[in-house]
Amino acid sequence: MKAIIAAGGKGSRMYPLTFTTSKQLLPIANKPLISYVLNNLIAVGIKNIALIVNATRPAYEELLGDGSKLGIHITYIDQAEALGLAHVVKISEKFVDGDSFVYCLGDNIFTAGIGKPFKQFLRTKADALLTVIEHEENYRLGVPFFDARGKLEKVVEKPEHPPNKFGVPGLYMFSSKVFRAFKGPDGIRSSARGELEITDLYNYMITHGYKVEVAELEGQWRDPGKFDDSLETNKLILETRKNFKILGKVDKDSVLSGGVDVGAGSKITNSKIIGPVVIGDHVEIENSTIGPYTAVGNDCEIANSSVEYSILLEDVHILDVKNKIEASMIGHHTMIRKTNRKSPVYSFFVADHCRIDLPE
């Protein structure tokens, strides 16, 4: 069994942060999004994984290398142009090499893992398995259509009037027979938007008589492709986290409540930390209030300030900010500090290498 992960794409809904960082490498609770996907695959025993990447390949190679540190083997496949989710499958045929495989989107989080549908895929020896989850806005997704007997009839991309509440998240499973869908006169073709659609792969398998299973996912699904989604996903992961560790130093004048993670080499002085909060390595927090629902990346500095419900990437400096910072996502190497100008409230969505001067 192998796996492929779609880790390219522009992440345009997360501009300007994704001008300099792949969306799948942005942190949720101080871990890159891609790590949640990898952990789900590792949990079901898959060790041979391909990442389909674009110009951001060097960043993935720097973070993950060949995968040996995680006990897996990673192959990198370059996708010069994003031509649809099914195109990712098409260019992976050589890597798959006749095996069955799991296909994940690199920015999807499944809080209960992928074990249940994976076991069903193995047990039934299906040619394809479609995962579904109840979603109030499933009209924005692929939607399964069932016949009167409850058998999967087709999958429709973004239907105007969905017949049920199920949507298709970014998790798909196939045998190598799926590659037949790209060949011959009846193979799938690009849609009106110029892409090879993942729904067309399933419809091809259904109409050609292959065994297609459906499995409903347990737990919650998050696709943090937008700013607000990222903050909500960060909150969810922090809420469901079970183990918190204090590896840094917390002085006697500081108060920690709820679940709080303090990384190695970090120092908390005369501050109030309201969990759930994760604080990375080599962070200095002084005379400040942090949290709840906040993730502070490595090498950050916060002094005489208050931060709540936010994500701070690495090397962010927040100094002497009078008003609370909340509902913010702040990129690498950014400084926020007071100035002599006046303003009552702040909310930020800031890319890397920025400086923001704030009034007293």
7: its two tokens:
């880790």
203 and 266: one domain? no
26: its two tokens:
């942005």
342 and 258: one domain? yes
Q: Kindly report the number of other CB atoms within 10 A of residue 98's CB atom.
A: 10
339 and 228: one domain? no
Please choose, from the candidates 172, 7, 176, the residue with its C-alpha nearest in 3D space to the C-alpha of residue 77.
7
CATH number of the domain where residue 122 is located: 3.90.550.10
48 and 98: one domain? yes
Q: State residue 25's pLDDT score.
A: 86
Of 238, 255, 286, the last residue of a domain is 238
**Amino acid identity, residue 58?**
P
Local confidence pLDDT in tens for the 360 residues of the chain: 999 999 976 555 555 565 566 778 889 999 999 999 999 999 999 999 999 998 889 989 999 999 999 999 999 999 988 889 999 999 999 999 999 999 999 989 999 999 999 999 999 999 999 999 999 888 889 999 999 898 999 999 999 999 999 999 999 999 999 999 999 899 999 988 889 999 999 999 999 999 999 999 999 999 876 677 889 999 999 999 989 999 999 999 999 999 999 999 999 999 999 999 999 999 999 999 999 999 999 999 999 999 999 999 999 999 999 889 999 988 888 889 887 666 556 767 666 666 677 766
Q: Kindly report the number of other CB atoms within 10 A of residue 163's CB atom.
A: 12
The torsion angle over the Cα atoms of residues 267, 272, 276 and 278, rounded to 10 degrees, is: -20
192 and 123: one domain? yes
Asked if residue 276 has a cis previous peptide bond (ω within 30° of 0), the answer is: yes
Contacts of 344 (CB under 8 A, 6+ apart): 323
Q: State residue 200's pLDDT score.
A: 96
Cβ atoms 298, 284 nearer than 8 A: no
Residue 179 CA to residue 173 CA, distance in Å, equals 13
318 and 346: one domain? yes
Residue 29 CA to residue 35 CA, distance in Å, equals 11
138 and 184: one domain? yes
Of 176, 211, 238, the last residue of a domain is 238
Q: Kindly report the number of other CB atoms within 10 A of residue 193's CB atom.
A: 8
Residue 144 CA to residue 129 CA, distance in Å, equals 12
46 and 71: one domain? yes
253 and 327: one domain? yes
Pairing of strands 349-350, 329-330: parallel
Greatest distance between any 2 Cα atoms in the chain? 74
Residue 285 CA to residue 302 CA, distance in Å, equals 5
Q: State residue 80's pLDDT score.
A: 85
Measured CA to CA in angstroms, residue 277 lies from 121, 244, 282, 288, 293 at distances of 37, 9, 15, 14, 6
Please tell me the pTM assigned to this model. Answer: 0.89
Residue 360 CA to residue 355 CA, distance in Å, equals 16
208 and 248: one domain? no
264: its two tokens:
């190695």
Cβ atoms 318, 303 nearer than 8 A: yes
Q: State residue 132's pLDDT score.
A: 96
Residue 221 CA to residue 34 CA, distance in Å, equals 15
What's the residue count for the chain? 360
Of 205, 238, 271, the last residue of a domain is 238
184 and 46: one domain? yes
How many domains are there within the chain? Answer: 2
Which residues span the domain enclosing 276? 243-359
221 and 307: one domain? no
